[in-house]
Amino acid sequence: MWLALGLTLFAGLATGVGSIIAFTAKRSNYRFLSVATGFSGGVMLYVSFVEIFSKGADRLTEIYGDRWGMWLTVGSFFGGMILMGLIDNLIPSAENPHEVHAESEMGPLRSSSAAQLSRGTGGPTDSHGDGRDPAAHQHALPDKRLLRMGLFTALAIGIHNFPEGLVTFLAVLQDPALGLAIAVAIALHNIPEGISVSVPIYYATGNRRRAFLYSVGSGLSEPVGAGIAYLILRAFLGPAAAFPGQVVGILFALVAGVMVYISVDELLPTSRAYGRGHDSLFGLVGGMAVMALSLLLLG
């Protein structure tokens, strides 16, 4: 259980890594972010269809037979996707938390005099003299609106991270090697999310520490969500080792659906937005290949 909590915490804290990159890196390596998020998507898609879905199907067909076991597996899989879709529709609307921030936006975050330049009416400018960079998002907005945007982005990411934390936690409990791979994939996908929380909050407040803390806080919802879900399951079902086979099977199929939704709705579009050419494809195939090789070597 402690290993599961530790890996879930590791995955969640990667939002803080994104914030640190935004504040310290001399230049954002967007192609790296593209390959990294594509790699994460490849890992999650491969492991969902090849490993997690099949584990759920094995448990359920063993109990209910081939016909009804597969029906229940497929229903649980799409139930996981529907769950994530409902979460998407229930959270407050905000700018896309996976949007690409232009280099001219990121530069002031690393300047010691940025607080005076970026709050309220400052921000990135270009040669047109109108205070806007056509490649950048408009951060010359009122402080309250920017702060609200950043807080809603943090809230949206935090709510999304609840099921992601459960995914990591349950995977580690059932198969530590598989859980480690999922934790790394989710950590990579959390890095650009940390950047997306930090940028608007910093431009609204001029306070790096506050932006960093909100970024980390959005990621900490991952282990919190995992812990709450585990306590609920334990209260009704007892220790994890004693979970009934049908419950484990349904949870695995749900997890597979959640991971596919995250990959298709978040990771792959983000990878395409950050990359050039076939960067996202290279990352996707690389993630699948590494996951396949690790399963073969550990199997």
For residue 185, being part of any structural domain is answered with: yes
Contact 38, 280 (CB under 8 A): yes
For residue 233, being part of any structural domain is answered with: yes
Q: How many domains does the chain have?
A: 1
Instruction: Kindly report the pTM of this predicted structure.
Output: 0.68
For residue 40, being part of any structural domain is answered with: yes
> Which residue from 148, 33, 42 is spatially nearest to 101, judged by alpha carbons?
33
User: What tens-digit pLDDT sequence spans the chain (299 residues)?
Assistant: 788 888 888 888 888 887 887 777 555 566 777 787 788 888 889 888 988 899 889 989 999 999 999 999 999 999 999 988 887 777 655 554 555 555 555 555 555 554 444 444 444 433 333 343 434 454 444 456 666 666 666 776 677 677 777 778 877 877 787 778 788 878 877 777 777 777 777 777 777 888 888 888 878 888 887 788 778 777 877 766 566 778 888 888 988 898 898 888 877 887 887 777 788 889 899 989 988 887 787 65
SS3 assignment, position 66:
helix
For residue 119, being part of any structural domain is answered with: no
Residue 149 structural domain: 2-113+137-298
Rounded CA separation 174/167 (Å)? 11
Q: Which residues contact 293 (CB under 8 A, 6 or more apart)?
A: none
Contact 37, 270 (CB under 8 A): yes
For residue 122, being part of any structural domain is answered with: no
Rounded CA separation 201/234 (Å)? 38
Determine the pLDDT at residue 34. Answer: 79
Determine the pLDDT at residue 186. Answer: 80
**What DSSP designation does 93 have?**
P
For residue 123, being part of any structural domain is answered with: no
For residue 256, being part of any structural domain is answered with: yes
Count how many residues are written for the chain: 299
For residue 126, being part of any structural domain is answered with: no
